């Protein structure tokens, strides 16, 4: 799934959306959602290979896998939140989009707390 195909899919969706938006705004939002889904779904194999490569590299450098999996988790959270909030903004619902963004920030902080805690402990042990 090269970038050309993804660009063409995006353009086709936009043309169809403009066509339908005046008479039928609900279907237009669903159409933009469908376009986003297709492009994202075709990106998944590339994401998978990137993540596998990162995990292999982390095993070689024997970095603690906990940190790598946390980074991957945060990327996933950020990605899903951005996907949904952009659809809400396109539909004109800024409030819902900002709630989704807020929830994403909270989840990311929650996911990164263990590592921050570990960091503070190591700093404490170094200082004392």
Partner 1 sequence: MEITIVFQIAAVGILVAVLNQVLIRAGREEQAMMTTLAGLVVVLFWIIQYISNLFETVQTLFRL
Binding site for partner 1 (CB under 8 A): 9, 12-13, 16, 19-20, 23-24, 26-28, 30-31, 33-35, 37-38, 40-42, 44, 47-48, 51, 69, 72-73, 75-77, 79-80
Q: Is 10 exposed, middle or buried (0-12, 13-18, 19+ CB in 10 A)?
A: middle
Q: What token pair was written down for 61?
A: 């450098």
Q: In whole angstroms, how close is the CB of 32 to partner 1 at the nearest point?
A: 10
Q: Which is nearer to partner 1, 39 or 89 (CB)?
A: 39
Q: In whole angstroms, how close is the CB of 38 to partner 1 at the nearest point?
A: 6
CA atoms within 13 A on the CB side of 99: 4
Q: In whole angstroms, how close is the CB of 19 to partner 1 at the nearest point?
A: 7
Q: Which is nearer to partner 1, 113 or 123 (CB)?
A: 113
The contacts of residue 47 (CB under 8 Å, 6+ apart) are none
Q: In whole angstroms, how close is the CB of 61 to partner 1 at the nearest point?
A: 20
Q: Which is nearer to partner 1, 44 or 120 (CB)?
A: 44
Q: Which is nearer to partner 1, 80 or 115 (CB)?
A: 80
Q: Is 45 exposed, middle or buried (0-12, 13-18, 19+ CB in 10 A)?
A: exposed
Q: What token pair was written down for 52?
A: 């596998």
Q: Are 55 and 65 in contact (CB under 8 A)?
A: yes
């Amino acid at each position: 799934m090269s970038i050309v195909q993804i660009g063409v899919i995006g353009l086709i969706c936009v043309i169809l959306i403009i066509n339908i938006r005046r008479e039928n705004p609900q279907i237009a939002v669903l159409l933009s959602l469908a376009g986003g889904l297709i492009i994202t779904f075709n990106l998944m194999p590339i994401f998978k290979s990137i993540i596998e490569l990162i995990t292999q590299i982390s095993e070689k450098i024997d970095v603690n896998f906990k940190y790598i999996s946390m980074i991957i988790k945060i990327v996933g959270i950020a990605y899903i939140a951005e996907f949904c909030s952009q659809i809400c903004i396109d539909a004109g619902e800024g409030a819902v989009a900002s709630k989704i963004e807020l929830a994403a920030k909270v989840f990311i902080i929650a996911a990164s707390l263990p590592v921050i805690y570990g960091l503070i402990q190591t700093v404490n042990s170094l200082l004392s």
